[in-house]
């Protein structure tokens, strides 16, 4: 007796459900960025906060955007071969489309004496390091212990990135003194 393969629609449904969960999870963190970084500019603790624009996010996310485009095309080659309902491929593409939009939405970033804020998340400086090779139009931080899955690029305009880079270098080098408080804008972590 020949073993039968499981129903491909079940696998497709699970894949779409997992992808939908990822999209919702990322959307949740994106909504938090305005809570974590409520104001822009100099922070009273000597930190600095800034916001990117859509074009800067394209530069920041170019690798992810290419991957998403490939992931949108791939299921269509398998739908006919596996007898999977095309509705799953459409749902997959809709989820990836929403994820692409979330990648391109302008982001808020901040650097403080103790943390970096990016993509709605807070990272302690002890968990980050600057990449030895820095790209021209963004700052590349690396998450320690993540290997090739650890890049954390920060986007923004040239002036904002210049100020942020100097604060990041100061935060990562505990010997330097942190900039004095300006007393202007909001919240200490």
How confident is the model at residue 141, as a pLDDT?
92
Q: What is the pLDDT of residues 116-134, one digit of tens each?
A: 999 888 899 999 999 888 8
What does the pLDDT read at residue 15?
Answer: 92
Structure tokens at 158: 């040239």
Confidence at residue 185, expressed as pLDDT on a 0 to 100 scale: 34
Per-residue confidence (pLDDT) for residue 183, from 0 to 100: 37
| Other CB atoms within 10 Å distance of the CB of residue 95 | 22
Q: Is 180 exposed, middle or buried (0-12, 13-18, 19+ CB in 10 A)?
A: exposed
pTM: 0.76
Q: What is the pLDDT of residue 176?
A: 61
pLDDT of residue 81: 83
Positions in the chain whose pLDDT score sits under 70: 1-3, 5, 175-189
Round to whole Å and give the CA distance between 174 and 134. Answer: 21
- Distance, first Cα to last Cα, the chain: 64
């Amino acid at each position: 007796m020949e073993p039968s393969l499981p129903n491909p629609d079940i696998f497709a449904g699970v894949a779409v459900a997992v992808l939908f969960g990822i999209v919702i999870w990322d959307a949740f963190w994106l909504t938090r960025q305005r809570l974590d970084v409520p104001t822009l500019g100099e922070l009273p603790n000597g930190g600095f906060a800034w916001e990117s624009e859509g074009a800067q996010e394209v530069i920041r996310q170019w690798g992810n955007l290419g991957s998403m485009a490939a992931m949108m095309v791939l299921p269509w080659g398998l739908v006919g071969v596996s007898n999977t309902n095309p509705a799953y491929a459409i749902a997959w593409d809709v989820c990836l489309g929403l994820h692409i939009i979330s990648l391109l939405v302008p982001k808020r970033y901040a650097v403080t004496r103790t943390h970096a804020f990016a993509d709605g998340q807070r990272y302690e400086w002890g968990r980050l390091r600057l990449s030895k090779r820095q790209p021209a139009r963004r700052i590349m931080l690396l998450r320690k212990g993540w290997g090739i899955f650890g890049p954390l690029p920060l986007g923004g305009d040239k002036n904002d990135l210049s100020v942020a880079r100097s604060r990041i270098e100061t935060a990562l080098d505990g010997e330097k003194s942190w900039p004095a408080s300006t007393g202007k804008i909001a919240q200490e972590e």
